[in-house]
Amino acid sequence: MTLFNEPLSELIWDIKYRYRWQGKIMDQTMEDTWHRVAKAVAKAEKTPALRQHWQAAFYRILEGFQFLPGGRILAGAGTRNKVTLFNCFVMTIKKDSLDGIFEGLKEGALTLQQGGGVGYDFSVLRPQGDLVAKTGLGSSGPVSFMRVWDTMCSVLLSTGARRGAMMGILRCDHPDIEQFVTAKRDPKELRHFNVSVMVSDAFMEAVKQNADWPLIFPIHNKNTSSDVIMRQWGDSLEPVPCRVYSRIKARDLWELIQRSAYDYAEPGVLFSDTINRNNNLFYCEHINATNPCAEIPLPSYGACDLGSINLTQFVVAPFSAQASINWNGLEETARIATRFLDNVIDVSHFPLRAQREAAFNTRRIGLGVTGLADMLLMLGLRYGSAESIECARKIMQCIAHSTWQTSIELAEEKGAFPLYQPAYLQGEFVVTLTEPLKQLLAKHGVRNSHHNTIAPTGTISLLANNVSNGIEPIFRKEYERHVRMPHDEMQRFKVTDYAYQLWRKEHPHDALPPAWVDASSLLPDEHLKMQGAMQHYIDNAISKTINLPADFPFEKLTDIYTQAFHLGLKGCTIFRPNLVTGSVLVADEASVDHCCKP
């Protein structure tokens, strides 16, 4: 049986996921990789009989690319390499001091070295020009220290470490927010960072009212200012006194954020109050940051334990009048994958003890999907149509229900996550669960604090013969893709969309399927409605990019962000072709488009 339809898919396996040790190839075939991973993850089970049983079950869902674990799991599980199996972490800067900053830098470097991406809230650093008590000199501000992180990441790359991803976040009320928003206008600035602004409900209301907006920072010397307001800051669960440095028009800042995103695709926007209102652990943590692609908001030292169900493998009779979804197979795969991801926590290395403690205390997992757009096409549904949105909603509902059900059963078998408390039952997301699930939850607790997410899945989707990424629409039927090779050089490869490959094989002389639509012809509200329908069942978040044509009117951008906010999304990212941001996907030499951030 030929596993790889695309030469690039086999190359991706060879350079990213095939196990080598001291120059010797250990995985001779893709099946060897699946066996290695299944065996390693099953070691978390208590007895030899259980390990044997679950190893077979894990292999069954890995086979044929039905379930795609996160890339770090595929690359590291069952190897001698001392690497983490978690794709990303949110880190912290514990103190606004030189010691605190460089301790945070060291911890980030150790995490990147083991293959984990990192996200930081840089709002904890005092604004530029603020006096430092020990020296009497002015601080250089958060953006300047982000440049130190950026250089560190470059140095690690030069040593041959896995390319590191970083997320830099600043609050919308930090005094240096305008400098942060415009920092990446320089094509050479902060190239190893994605950047996002953490936006509050209060800011969105100030924009609506055209009100003044205070830029603030926690008080170090309580006698320095009489203009003080109380705001939550950093990891504190309670508001702290903050000095007002200046006041600007909220709409001016909002327009600056949007103009920057319009011109060079950054920053993204994260909705902090939506994130924290819907955090299942609202009673014991405050979230200020996300992983680099924003699909999992996390507390300090929190980690991403990711996996995606490849929806293309659950379509019966594709492209026919009888096309349907194998719901039983989808549910079974979701249940086995949930146990798989829970086991990953127990068998993984962690760069830092604090990361291990955070992972074991909450046992967060993120089970999601990929290949949604291809599946919809194979079912004869146009992506963005009312029928497609309803289908996507039912798919995510099925997966989420199976994940929660399994996690409750795992709690009964192995115990609930250590930070579980009765207050968990009052969480805004938890109360939306079905009554039978809530009754079981109250009786047994739950193994994992969080369960579902949708990641960008760029490389693992390419491994699975180029299925459409995550919940993104099909980019093009054929296009060129930039791939980073082992020595950090970029090469272009021509690839074909998975569903289009299947259609062309069965209909070599026909036109495109009637339901065909790609990213170039979708409206922004079709992206948003799809994301909103699935977010309802997801307790983490969704990585999604709204592709805009070059001639999209800037004046309409506010509508996109406002709709995202009112739909209850946890963030919003746009991409419009520009000369500053690089490209992963290329339609042709004259037309550059983008699917997810490089």
On average, the pLDDT of the chain sits at: 92
Q: CB-based contacts of 596: which residues, under 8 Å, 6+ apart?
A: 293, 456, 458, 469, 472, 543, 545, 584
Of the CA atoms within 13 Å of residue 591, those in its CB half-sphere come to 11
Residue 485's pLDDT band (cuts 50, 70, 90): confident
The predicted pLDDT at position 357 comes to: 97
Tokens of 326: 């194998």
Give residue-wise pLDDT tens across range 365-415.
Answer: 999 999 999 999 999 999 999 999 999 999 999 999 999 999 999 999 999
Question: What gap in Å lies between CA 569 and CA 536, rounded to an integer?
Answer: 9
Give residue-wise pLDDT tens across range 15-59.
Answer: 999 999 998 999 999 999 999 999 999 999 999 999 999 999 999
The answer to whether 310 touches 67, Cβ cutoff 8 Å, is yes
Q: Respond yes or no: is residue 291 known to be catalytic.
A: yes
Residue 233: closest CA among 123, 318, 311, 307: 123
Residue with token string 């005092």: 126
Quick check: 484 pLDDT over 90?
no
Question: What gap in Å lies between CA 264 and CA 183, rounded to an integer?
Answer: 11
Give residue-wise pLDDT tens across range 352-363.
Answer: 999 999 999 999
Question: What gap in Å lies between CA 561 and CA 527, rounded to an integer?
Answer: 12
Report the chain's C-alpha Rg in angstroms.
Answer: 23
Quick check: 92 pLDDT over 70?
yes
Helix or strand or coil: residue 587? strand
Rounded to the nearest 5 degrees, what angle is found at the Cα of 338, between the Cα atoms of 333 and 339? 105
The predicted pLDDT at position 158 comes to: 62
Quick check: 65 pLDDT over 80?
yes
Quick check: 6 pLDDT over 90?
no
Question: What gap in Å lies between CA 297 and CA 358, rounded to an integer?
Answer: 14
Q: Torsion over CA of 208, 214, 218 and 222, rounded to 10 degrees?
A: -140
Measured in Å, how far apart are the chain's first and last C-alpha atoms? 33
Q: Which helix (H) or strand (E) holds 37?
A: helix 30-42
pTM of the model: 0.94
For the chain, the structural domain boundaries read 1-86+303-543, 92-217+250-289
Q: CB-based contacts of 580: which residues, under 8 Å, 6+ apart?
A: 184, 185, 187, 263, 264, 265
The predicted pLDDT at position 597 comes to: 35
The answer to whether 250 touches 199, Cβ cutoff 8 Å, is no
Give residue-wise pLDDT tens across range 270-302.
Answer: 999 999 999 999 999 999 999 999 999 999 999
Q: What separation in angstroms does the CA of 480 have from each of 251, 477, 524, 593?
A: 39, 10, 24, 10
Q: Which of 87, 194, 288, 291 is catalytic?
A: 291
The predicted pLDDT at position 37 comes to: 98
**375 beta partners:** none
- Kindly give the pairing relationship between strand 228-231 and strand 212-218: unpaired
Q: Which of 295, 472, 480, 526 is catalytic?
A: 295
Q: Which helix (H) or strand (E) holds 255?
A: helix 250-264
Q: Which of 153, 172, 242, 293 is catalytic?
A: 293
Residue 217's pLDDT band (cuts 50, 70, 90): very high
Question: What gap in Å lies between CA 339 and CA 360, rounded to an integer?
Answer: 15
Question: What gap in Å lies between CA 345 and CA 365, rounded to an integer?
Answer: 9
Question: What gap in Å lies between CA 293 and CA 70, rounded to an integer?
Answer: 13
The predicted pLDDT at position 162 comes to: 60
Residue 579's pLDDT band (cuts 50, 70, 90): confident
The answer to whether 547 touches 502, Cβ cutoff 8 Å, is no
Give residue-wise pLDDT tens across range 424-460.
Answer: 999 999 999 999 999 999 999 999 999 999 999 989 9
pLDDT mean over 499-519: 93
pLDDT mean over 557-574: 94
The predicted pLDDT at position 171 comes to: 98
Question: What gap in Å lies between CA 299 and CA 317, rounded to an integer?
Answer: 44
Question: What gap in Å lies between CA 17 and CA 500, rounded to an integer?
Answer: 26
The predicted pLDDT at position 598 comes to: 26
Give residue-wise pLDDT tens across range 118-161.
Answer: 999 999 999 999 887 777 678 899 999 999 999 999 888 766 55
Say how many C-beta atoms besides its own lie within 10 A of residue 305's C-beta: 29
Q: CB-based contacts of 229: which residues, under 8 Å, 6+ apart?
A: 214, 216, 241, 242, 244
Residue count (the chain)? 598
- 1-86+303-543: what fold? Anaerobic Ribonucleotide-triphosphate Reductase Large Chain (3.20.70)
The predicted pLDDT at position 284 comes to: 96
The answer to whether 188 touches 220, Cβ cutoff 8 Å, is no
The predicted pLDDT at position 160 comes to: 57
The predicted pLDDT at position 349 comes to: 95
The answer to whether 142 touches 174, Cβ cutoff 8 Å, is yes
